[in-house]
Amino acid sequence: MKRVINLDNWNRKEHFKFFSALDDPFWGITTTVDFTSVYQQSKNMEVSFFLYSVYFLLKCINATTAFKLRIENGEVVEYDKINISPTIGREDGTFGFGFFEYDTDLSLFIENAEKEIHRVKNSAGLSFSKDTARADVIRYSALPWFAFSEMKHAGSIQTGDSIPKISTGKLIQEKKKLLLPISISVHHGLVDGRNIAEFIQNLKDGQNNTL
């Protein structure tokens, strides 16, 4: 489900029109977030850190209103739920695009995600589906082989894309903490710095069970 934002009553109307007219309206940041609790929780529950961390990211994304906004046919819409389209690697070194539907029930989320991982791993090419083309997603890639301090996300400006892109890297051990590199790319007509700050704060609050 989604609702159309009334631009005439939206306090970001001028910001939206200004940034949407730019050749490249996307901007982004790269930072690290303490993911020690997320990692420990996945181990305590004996579940995949990848799937648990994606579930946690989605929980925080859905608590950040700006990340639920999209541009469709010149209108701004807000979805009531955001899912995720991750890249899923195969044994032959290629990857395909998957679709994980967000569910607050962790067990159900993992069960459905594992079915999708099986589908992609047993397919060829980019493994597009009707769900990977949906707008109510976050484009996501996990890069567990290395940490990073900067990243540029691929995108198609001419298609009017407005979907946020998030990538995470290898956990960085810093004393007793595990820091997760995270790169976020968003459409400036929809998302400002304070919105990304809200998302990062949600990542912190979520680990303290205050989200």
> 15, 118, 187, 188: which one is catalytic?
188
Spatial distance between the Cα atoms of 174 and 172, rounded to a whole number of angstroms = 6
The dihedral built from the CA positions of residue 148, 154, 157 and 160, taken in this order, carries a sign that is: negative
Number of CB atoms found within 10 A of residue 114's CB = 13
**Residue with token string 């707008």:** 135
Whether 85 and 138 have beta carbons less than 8 Å apart is answered as: yes
First to last CA, the chain: 23
Residue 118 is among the residues annotated as catalytic for this protein: no
At 160, is the secondary structure helix, strand, or coil?
coil
Q: Angle at which helices 49-61 and 193-207 pack, to 10 degrees?
A: 130
Edge-to-edge order in the sheet of strand 75-79: 2-4, 75-79, 69-72
Spatial distance between the Cα atoms of 87 and 26, rounded to a whole number of angstroms = 21
Secondary structure tally for the chain: helices H, strands E: 5, 10
Q: Which sequence positions are flagged as catalytic?
A: 188
